[in-house]
Amino acid sequence: MPLSKKDVLKVGALSRIRLSEAEVEKFSTQLSGILEYVDKLRELDTADVEPLAHALPIHNVLREDVPAEGLTTEQALAGAPEAAGDYFRVPRVLDEGAGA
Amino acid sequence: MHSTHLTARALRDAIARRELSASEAVAASLAAIERLEPQVKAFLSLNPEGARRRAAEIDKRLAAGENVGALAGVPIAVKDVLCTADGQTTTCASKILGNWKAPYDAHVVERVLAEGAIVVGKTNLDEFAMGSSTENSAYFTTHNPWDLERVPGGSSGGSAAAVAARMVPIALGSDTGGSIRQPAALCGVVGVKPTYGRVSRYGLVAFASSLDQIGPFARDIPDAALLMRVIAGHDPRDSTSVSARDQPVPDYLAGLEEPLKGLRIGLPKEFFGAGVDPEVQAAVREALRIYERLGATLLEVDLPHSTDYAIATYYIVATSEASSNLARYDGVHYGLRAAGYEDMIDMYMRTRSEGFGDEVKRRIMLGNYALSSGYYDAYYKKALKVRRLIRGDFEQAFARVNCLMGPTTPTPAFKIGEKAADPLAMYLSDIYTVSCNLAGIAGASLPCGLTKAGLPVGLQILTDVFTEDKLLRIARMFERETDWAMRAPALAGGRS
């Protein structure tokens, strides 16, 4: 299935990736080529096949809820582009005066 | 003494006997890196001071009569997708992580350090392990030590090249669709992709969580077995790592030299089809003749879903998982935050657009497309169904044979730039390796020849889940009969 430029822009937005005009052009051609290849899977009758998300049996692994040492706040914030006090700093999310 | 030409175990033994110090071993490794790195470019970062300091400590402990461990004094390189808390950056070869320094060691890094290994540096890769040549690294491309105009393979190309160039005897990589076995084949070294769940992924930056597995690079099978023994085993911090009760870790070195009697080798006819380079085909056929001479029986088997369909399945499953895993790079917690943004969403978009390279963008978008409303059933769910068929192929094959063999890659190392503009052509270089990850089984590549142009050829061996002991024994049978593992590229002082 070919991917239109509009599709590419939509999936770019879903991916939080902004694309230039040239990128939209390039990715729509490349992604269409890949999807055309992937369409081979349609040749296979899988009506009675159960999906397999994990190759091996995966089950919940639980442990006792015992407090243990983790990263310190300082360590956790050490790689952050911006921090303020004990917090990650992000751009304003709510408008002035908004909120409850 | 050219200690860089010793295997890890010979080096460790020489150090233990005090014929050589760990400091000398590290100095020799760093000298080889200094000499060859301008041409090979295997490393994203080096830690010479840290390595020398650690070597001195190990020498002191050895002098005091301490048992330092199974890798005491052995230099090792670590793919830069594994976290290290030694002050080196963990970049995943991406601009988006920039100068990020991990606050903890990956499980496998803890394990090799606990056994006395010395991490000399972190190796180049395709950005976030997405690629087959290291050309997708945001920093530079690694060159194949056998022919500097060619790629080392990928994504663990830096680790493979560092071992091939005799910079280090062993290295760690990760394999999501062939990222250990393919570069091992192209660089003429041994690479092992363990069974899913055999090695903890704690501290491995996630690409596709149901496929990723960490494994060893080495120059020969006993060194790979040694490193496997160190890194395999349960870790409560990775809930997919199997328990010691369900799957105890065998001693991969015990029995390694005993050939397997009555070995039945399956040859998937899909792995010998059109598109295999004639010289690759010839080298693999010659390897099979050696196995026959050793008493093995060759049987043709069918893996009808495990080449083209596997690539198609892989590029849906892996990209879907990646689109979710890479959502964490949002300019908030670590690494890059783009400048000049207007609001939160704009900050995300600018950061990710500037921080990710083209291949990563392609895969995130492909994954989000496959998971998006209206396409989920047609792509993602369909791929998971085919994944079951692929696993079924292997289950049926392993009911008849002990292992499967074929070429690791359809061609020897290709030229830098040759496939860079065509993502699909690049994906197809993994055509024989991806099905192993989708099925979760064990696989290895070992050197089995050189082309007329002097490029290495890899033999791939696949065995059922949690049979790495058998896999390594089978590989060793061939290795003992040939000297391919001893060959070194000319630039590292070998005969070419």
pTM over 0.90: yes
Span B382-440, pLDDT tens digits: 999 999 999 999 999 999 999 999 999 999 999 999 998 888 888 888 999 999 999 99
Q: How many CB atoms lie within 10 A of CB A28?
A: 20
**Which residues in chain A are contacts of B440 at CB distance < 8 A?**
54-56
How many structural domains is chain A composed of? 1
| Both tokens assigned to B109 | 């890094």
User: Is position A88 within any domain?
Assistant: no
Span B277-313, pLDDT tens digits: 999 999 999 999 999 999 999 999 999 999 999 999 9
Which of A3, A5, A17 would best serve as a mutation to test chain B binding (most B beta carbons within 10 A)?
Answer: A17
Looking at this protein, which amino acid is placed at residue A88? F
pLDDT at B438: 98
Set B21, B132, B156, B179: catalytic member: B179
Structural domain range at position A30: 5-43
User: Is position A33 within any domain?
Assistant: yes
| CATH code, domain carrying A14 | 1.10.20
Which of A8, A11, A77 would best serve as a mutation to test chain B binding (most B beta carbons within 10 A)?
Answer: A11
Q: How confident is the model at residue B496 (pLDDT cuts 50, 70, 90)?
A: very low
Contact B353 A52 (CB under 8 A): no
Q: Which residues of B, range 405-424, sit inside 8 Å of A by Cβ?
A: 423-424
Exposed/middle/buried for residue A67 (C-beta within 10 Å: 0-12, 13-18, 19+): exposed
**Which residues in chain B are contacts of A63 at CB distance < 8 A?**
236
Rounded-to-integer distance, Cα B164 and Cα B36, Å: 11
- Asked if B283 and B457 touch (Cβ cutoff 8 Å), the reply is yes
Residue B29: closest CA among B71, B75, B70, B72: B75
ipTM field: 0.94
How many structural domains is chain B composed of? 1
**Which residues in chain A are contacts of B337 at CB distance < 8 A?**
81-82
Which of B213, B238, B308, B353 would best serve as a mutation to test chain A binding (most A beta carbons within 10 A)?
Answer: B353
User: Is position A22 within any domain?
Assistant: yes
Contact B423 A34 (CB under 8 A): yes
User: Is position B399 within any domain?
Assistant: no
Q: How confident is the model at residue A100 (pLDDT cuts 50, 70, 90)?
A: very low
Looking at this protein, which amino acid is placed at residue A44? L
Span B341-360, pLDDT tens digits: 999 999 999 999 999 999 99
Q: How far is CA B121 from CA A13, B22, B49, B227, in A?
A: 37, 16, 11, 17
User: Is position A18 within any domain?
Assistant: yes
- Asked if B65 and A38 touch (Cβ cutoff 8 Å), the reply is no
User: Is position B112 within any domain?
Assistant: yes
- Contacts by A41-45, CB closer than 8 A, 24 or more apart: A41/B309, A41/B312, A41/B313, A41/B316, A41/B382, A41/B383, A41/B386, A42/B382, A44/B305, A44/B309, A44/B385, A44/B386, A44/B389
Please spell the DSSP secondary structure of chain A, one letter per residue: -PPPHHHHHHHHHHTT----HHHHHHHHHHHHHHHHHHGGGGGS--TTPPP-S-SS----------------HHHHHTT-SSEETTEE-----SPTT---
**Which residues in chain B are contacts of A49 at CB distance < 8 A?**
385-386, 388-389
B179 is catalytic: yes
State whether the Cα torsion B30-B36-B42-B45 is positive or negative: positive
Q: What is the mean pLDDT of chain B?
A: 96
3-state SS, residue B447: strand
3-state SS, residue B180: coil
User: Is position B103 within any domain?
Assistant: yes
- Asked if B120 and B76 touch (Cβ cutoff 8 Å), the reply is yes
pLDDT greater than 70 at residue A97: no
| CATH code, domain carrying B34 | 3.90.1300.10
Rounded-to-integer distance, Cα B144 and Cα B122, Å: 17
Structural domain range at position B469: 3-238+443-492
Q: How confident is the model at residue B1 (pLDDT cuts 50, 70, 90)?
A: very low
